[in-house]
A and B are shown apart, each in its own frame.
Chain A
Amino acid sequence: MAYKWRKNLACFSTYRVLERDDRLDQFEEELVPLDKSAGKYKVSYMAFYPDDGSPKVKEKAARNIAVKFIRFTIKDYKPKKEETSQTLKKWHGELTNLFKDGDKTLTDIAEVQDEYCKFKDEMED
C-alpha cells in the first residue's frame, strides 16, 4: 500500500530539514505550509533541482543534497537504525534516486526516512 503523508516524525523531519532556513532551505513555510498538501510537493519545485540539466547533472545534484539531508536528519532527530542490515550508504543511495527524479514528492522521501529510521515517536519509553 502506498505510503501516506501523515503526522509522524518521518514526515515532519522530512519537511523541516528541507524547509528550515538554517538547514536545506528549499521552500518557504508561508507558501508551503505543513499540512496534507505538503506531501505532494515535488522535488522539481525545490531550489536545488536543475530543471534543464541532463540526467547526469540531476544525478550529481541529487547525490550531493542527499548527503546533507541525511546529516541534518541525524543531527536534529537522532533516529535509530530501523534494521541492522541497513547502512548509511544504502540510505544515501535511495535518497539520491528520489532527489534526481523531479516527479517524486515529500511523501516519497518520508517513506524512505520511515524505512531507514526509527524516530522517537516509534520508540518505546
Chain B
Amino acid sequence: MLKIILVSIFFYFSISVWAEEGQKNSEKEGYTLKPVLLDGSNSNSIALGIEYGLSNGWVFKGEEDEYADSDSDVDENGYWVDDVNKKVRRNSGYLKYELSGVWTSEEETNPESFSKVKIELGYDYFRPSDSWNKDFDFYLAYSMEGDQDFDNRQEVTSASFSGYFGNPKGTYIVSIIELGQVDASENEQRMALTTIDKFDRLSGEVAFKYKLDFGESRKYKPKSIGINYRYFSEKSAPQSIKSAGLDKFKRYSIVLKFEHGLYIAYSKGELPFDLQEEKVLKVGLTHNLF
C-alpha cells in the first residue's frame, strides 16, 4: 500500500513539476560503457561482459541556481572569488536517476550478474554561512536491484527527510527520518519465521559530532567525539517476528577520535540485516590505538 501511495505521489509530483517548470536543467549526467573480462568462480572459463552506467539529474532552478551558474565566480583577472556560500546554496527541487550493471550475452556465464535502477525526486534546501550551516532535504526514492535481466529482483520504495545544523568549528548534528518498504526475501533468519518477505519500516538516525579543542598542547589529545543513534521499527510486524525480537532494532555508538584513525569507541545494539554493511564499529568497547 505504501509503495502504491509513494509511487503515485512520485509520478504526480514529477508531472506537475515538469508541466509548470520550464527551467529544468540537466545538472549531473554521465555514462560509462566498457568491456570487462569476467572470471567465473565455478569454472575455468572467462566471459566477456559489458559494464554500464548511466546517470542524469535535473534541478528545477530558482533564482539562486541561476546565480550559481553565472560567470561571476571569477574576477576580471580570472581569480576565483570567495562567493562559495551563495554559489552552492540550494532552494530547489530535483530529479535524478541512475542505471548501472554488468551484462553478458549469457547470464549463466556472468559471475557479476547485476543491475540497478534508482529514481529520486526531492527538494533540497542548503544554506552554508559564516555562522550555522543549514542543510535539509526531502525525497522520494524508488530503486530496483537484481540480476542482469531483472529476473530476480528486489524493490525498495522510501520517503526520507534529513536535516543538518553545523557551525564553522566542526560541530554538527544530523537527523534523518525515513519510511520505506523493505524486501527481506534474502534474509534467511526472517524467512525461517514468516512468509511475509516485504514490510514497511520506519527508521530514524541522529548523529552528533563535537569538535574538541585542547589548545596548544594537544598532541595526543582526542580531536572529536561523535555520537550516533539509529532506530528501526517494522510496521505491523507478525507475532513470530516480534517474539524473535526482529521487529525493532536500536543501535548507538560513541567514538572518541584521535589522530591517524585511532579511536576508542563504545557501541551497543545491532542494525537490521539489510544495513549490516554500514556498520563500522563492533558492538562493545573497541579501540584502534596501535
Contacts and interface: CB of A to CB of B under 8 A. Distances in A.
Interface of A: 24-28, 30-32, 41-42, 44-45, 47-48, 50-57, 60-61, 63-65, 67-68, 70-71, 74-75, 78-81, 87-89, 92-93, 117
Contacts of B135: 60, 63-64
Contacts, number: 145
A64 B128 contact: yes
Contacts of A79: 79-80
B230 interface: yes
B22 interface: no
B108 interface: no
A87 B218 contact: no
A64 B79 contact: no
B279 A52 contact: yes
Given A48-B170, A52-B280, A55-B278, A89 B69 contact: yes
Interface residues of B, number: 56
A117 B80 contact: yes
Nearest to B225: A47
Residue among B81, B82, B212 with max Cβ neighbours from chain A (10 Å)? B82
A1 B84 CA distance: 30
Contacts of B253: 52
Residue among B80, B84, B205, B255 with max Cβ neighbours from chain A (10 Å)? B80
A93 B88 CA distance: 9
Given A31-B219, A57-B176, A87-B69, A52 B259 contact: no
Contacts of B176: 54, 56-57
20 contacts: A27-B223, A31-B260, A32-B259, A50-B226, A51-B257, A52-B280, A53-B207, A53-B226, A54-B207, A54-B230, A57-B174, A57-B176, A57-B205, A61-B174, A64-B128, A67-B128, A68-B168, A80-B80, A87-B73, A92-B84
A64 B263 CA distance: 23
Contacts of B267: 52
Contact of A81 (B69, B73, B128, B162): B73
Contact of B259 (A45, A53, A56): A45
Residue among B68, B128, B253 with max Cβ neighbours from chain A (10 Å)? B128
Nearest to B263: A51
Contact of A47 (B85, B170, B280): B170
Given A26-B223, A68-B168, A87-B68, A48 B209 contact: yes
Contact of B281 (A52, A60, A68): A52
Q: Which 5 A-B pairs have the closest CB atoms?
A: A47-B223, A88-B87, A47-B224, A45-B261, A60-B164
Interface in B201-226: 205, 207, 209, 211-213, 218-219, 223-224, 226
A26 B135 CA distance: 22
Contacts of B170: 24-25, 47-48, 65
Contacts of A67: 84-85, 88, 128, 133
Contacts of A60: 135, 162, 164, 172, 174
A57 to B, nearest CB: 4
A116 B130 CA distance: 23
